[in-house]
Amino acid sequence: MGGWDIPIGRLDVLKDKRYEGYLYGGGISYGYQWVISNRWNFEFNIGAGYARIHYDEYPCEECGTKLDEGNYNYWGVTKLGLSFIYFLK
C-alpha cells in the first residue's frame, strides 16, 4: 500500500559495474502490536539473520569479461518495521 525507501549508500558501487550471483540466508523475526484505540493499532517488528552472497563482477551492464568474483557474509538486522494500522468498520 505504501512505504518509504531509505537509501543507505551501499548501492553506489552498482553505477559502474554489474554483478551476477546468488544469495541465500535465513533468520528470525519478532513483532508486537499495541491497541491505541478502537480503530487504531501500532505495530513494531524486527528481524535478524544471516545472508551469504557469492558474486561475479563485470565491467558494464551488458558486456565484458569477468573482472572478479567474491563472497560476502552478513550477520545482523535484516528487517525493521513500524506500522500504524487503521481498521475500517
Report pLDDT for 89. Answer: 83
pLDDT tens digits along 43-89? 999 999 999 999 999 887 777 888 999 999 999 999 999 999 999 98
Report pLDDT for 16. Answer: 77
**More reliable by pLDDT, 70 or 2:** 70
| CB burial string 36-63: b at 16+ within 10 A, e below | eeeeeeeeeeeeeeeeeeebebbeeeee
- Closest C-alpha to 79, from 45, 51, 43, 32: 45
DSSP 8-state class, residue 64: -
Q: Report pTM.
A: 0.60
Averaged pLDDT for residues 6-16? 62
